[in-house]
Amino acid sequence: MTRTNWSRFSKLALALVVLLSVAAIPAGAVSVASEDTPSEAQVGSKVTASVTLDELYKNPQLEAWTLAGQTHLEDVTWTVTYYDQTGAKVDQQSFDGQNFSGAQIAADDGTSEVEVSVTGTVPAVEEFSYDPAQEFTVISLEQTREGGSSNDIGTWNATHYTEESAAARDKLDSAKAAITAASGANTQEAQQSFDNAVEAFEGGEFGLASNLAEEAETRANNAKQSSQTTQLLIYAAGGLVVIALLAGGFLYWKSQQQTYDKLG
């Protein structure tokens, strides 16, 4: 390849890298300035989550777009509050329902920051899971544009529970920790009880799950204690052997000394 051809090839390769890099940049560049969302919540309780967005017009060709959101909360109310560059509130809108769209974000309106708040009731758990714990979507936001294209801004999930499931989970966590602490001991029976407890938990039988988890913890603790006792016995037996050897060596030495004295 000649120098001229190589130079052309290098320029084409560089142009391709730049093109691919640009293509990899998301069309929307909305930034999450802050968020206040729960990580867990009890079924039937009322919760509120809020997310604040800034850097709304990172893309120069995107001076206006529409904000949409969804949630698994029930009896939902959304509040979208608009602020200008000074932090002053310039507008506010409210929406009802698990899904909303139509919140217009436009540079011409002077909007520099948007706060999205959702309030609703935590839904029932459709299917319980121990690990990972069952989750629901508290708030999910999306940037939509004319023509139907869209970009995900972010999704915030939380675990949900009932009073009974929370109590059973605590028992399971305690049993799991006990089995881990008994590492090196024979925890096969404890593990089997724990597995049965998890199965009961995921079947919604929380009383049974708690009982089996307690059984698993007890078996794990017993296995650990038994292992430690066995180890101590081994150490003790080893110590007795050493003492016996030392005593035997001393007696042998003493007998040799006595023999030597007689010969003298």
pLDDT in tens, 172-193: 999 999 999 998 889 999 999 9
CB 62 within 8 A of CB 142: no
**Residue 163 backbone dihedrals phi, psi, to 5 degrees:** -60, -40
Among 144-148, 184-188, 255-259, name the one with the lowest average pLDDT: 255-259
pLDDT digits over 1-25, tens only? Answer: 544 444 444 444 444 433 333 333 3
Mean pLDDT on 216-221:
95
Least confident of 135-139, 146-150, 159-163, 175-179: 146-150
Of 4-8, 50-54, 159-163, the one with minimum mean pLDDT is 4-8
What's the half-sphere exposure (Cβ side, CA atoms, 13 Å) at 45? 13
Whole-angstrom CA distances from 241 to 16, 194, 236 are: 77, 40, 9
Closest CA to 35 of 194, 161, 157, 195: 157
Distance CA 81, CA 96 (A): 15
Task: List Cα–Cα distances, 15 to 11, 20, 59, in angstroms.
Answer: 6, 9, 21
